[in-house]
Structure 1
């Protein structure tokens, strides 16, 4: 039983250290805002016409 208790204590210490490091990063590090530009190809905004009419309604003839 002492080895199980020692293992659980070590896991708790490691988990607490990770949690504390994440908490400190979230508290003390501020992100620097910056402008981001993403180019979108014109084909995605205005797809080329294929000549086929759009399919609407039922498939009955």
Structure 2
């Protein structure tokens, strides 16, 4: 039975570390907004008639 408790403790530790990293990313990283310009060729917008 101690092996099961050790395994569950290891799983809980890994989940806690992942949760702490995600929380740190949310708190300390601020995204920057920027405009994105995508040029579309006119052949795709107005295909030539055949």
Secondary structure at 1:47's aligned position in 2? Answer: coil
1:38 corresponds to 2:45: no
Mapping of residues 11-50 of structure 1, within 5 Å? 11-50=11-50
| TM-score, normalised by the number of residues in structure 2 | 0.79
The structure 1 segments of at least 4 consecutive aligned residues displaced by more than 6 Å after TM superposition are: none
The aligned length equals 50
Q: Which runs of 5+ in 1 are unaligned?
A: 51-61
Query: Looking at CA atoms only, which structure, 1 or 2, has the larger radius of gyration?
Result: 1
Separation of aligned partners in 2, 1:41 and 1:17: 47
Cα RMSD (Å): 1.2
